[in-house]
A = this chain, B = another copy of it.
Amino acid sequence: MAGGSGTRFWPRSRRRLPKQLLPVASARTLLQETTDRLVRVVDASRILVVTHRDHAAAVRRQLPQIPGRNVLVEPASCNTAPCLALAALEIARRDPDATFVSVPADHAIADARAFQATILEALAWAQHEPSAVTIGIQPTAPETGFGYIRVGDRLGGRTFRVRAFVEKPSLARARRYVASGEYLWNSGMFAWRTATVLDLLDRHLAAVTGPLRRALAAPQRARAAALARAYATITPISIDHGVMEKAAGVLVVRGAFGWNDIGSWAALGDLALAQKGGAPVVAIDAARYVVSSPERLVALVGVDDLIVVDAPDALLICHRERAQDVRKVVQELEQRGLDAYL
């Protein structure tokens, strides 16, 4: 899933270059890192990427090892449920018996081997059970920006039954979740048989799969236009809200592989990756800063908790606790017609 628009990473991310297409945590882009991790588990010929029309060319350039026909192009961004429906329908067309794992292309993972072991465990359960298998992350802090998964009985290894998907909690509630040991973070990664996910989607989101099935039945040359018409009828919805919260018998594999969803510039501070290889920073009485400045020296005097991102045409200075509001900058740029900066 490489469909994000990444407004929270402005000014580094732009309309034409969202987060997943940027080298955020290393010299490779997040999309390339995601693919690098997966080719150890599945052959590149069996990796599909779903992305927005505007980013398809960049995705193909960044992933020369992935066959062009494996890049599935969405005509609009409609959140994860339509994205996964499109992927499931295309996989079913190629191999109705396939089991697949779906992962976001814009997350950082520190321990690739642990990640791969977790993926394989999830795929094994998905292959043998008629269930969706999600990957839950062992929480390391009472994060309020993630949904949580309450685990039930253990089935073996690191796999449990899911008791409930819970929405983003308050800080007090998040603390109780973490202290209880019964909750995992919802990472947005899933393994399932193609038949299982299509069954769930048809049952809970027929308004998504119906138009998509009809569009994909169109002849090849008319398919893009048909898909555009289909997406125009779809209300954006996430797989979590649209399906997982309603589904029965879901399993969860507990993962602990140094996961970071890089949800905002503040998350980069936790990774301590922001200024790796960048220009010098001079800090006079300045603490807890996140600086991303590839070329220009940054001097901080008497300021704490700042995020500083330096791009060739624009500069962002944001309080760490306001990292989610970077999208408001993008909104104001749109309103003021400052399109050159989008």
Contacts and interface: CB of A to CB of B under 8 A. Distances in A.
A282 to B, nearest CB: 5
A285 interface: yes
B315 A297 contact: yes
A319 B293 contact: no
A325 B301 contact: yes
A172 interface: no
Contacts of A326: 299, 301
Interface string A279-291: 0101011000000
- Could you say how many copies of this chain the assembly holds? 2
Interface string A289-321: 000010011111111001010111111111101
Interface stretch (A84-92, A132-140, A192-200, A328-336): A328-336
Contacts of A285: 322, 325
Contact of A317 (B300, B329, B333, B336): B300
The A interface, classified by DSSP as helix, strand, loop or mixed, is mixed
A297 B284 contact: no
A301 B282 contact: no
A199 to B, nearest CB: 44
A10 B298 CA distance: 12
Contacts of A313: 296-297
A27 interface: no
Contacts of A293: 315
Contacts of A338: 280, 282, 297
Given A282-B332, A322-B285, A317 B303 contact: yes
Given A285-B322, A322-B285, A336-B280, A301 B315 contact: no
A321 B285 CA distance: 13
Contacts of A280: 336, 338
A297 B293 CA distance: 15
Given A293-B315, A297-B314, 16 more contacts: A282-B329, A282-B332, A282-B333, A282-B336, A284-B325, A285-B322, A296-B314, A297-B315, A298-B314, A299-B315, A299-B329, A301-B325, A301-B326, A302-B318, A303-B319, A310-B315
30 contacts: A10-B299, A282-B329, A282-B338, A284-B329, A293-B315, A296-B312, A296-B313, A297-B313, A297-B314, A298-B317, A299-B315, A299-B316, A299-B326, A299-B329, A301-B316, A301-B317, A301-B318, A301-B319, A301-B322, A301-B329, A302-B321, A302-B325, A303-B303, A303-B306, A303-B317, A303-B319, A308-B317, A310-B315, A315-B315, A317-B317
A-B pairs, 9 with minimum CB distance: A302-B322, A302-B319, A301-B318, A297-B314, A299-B329, A284-B328, A299-B316, A301-B322, A298-B315
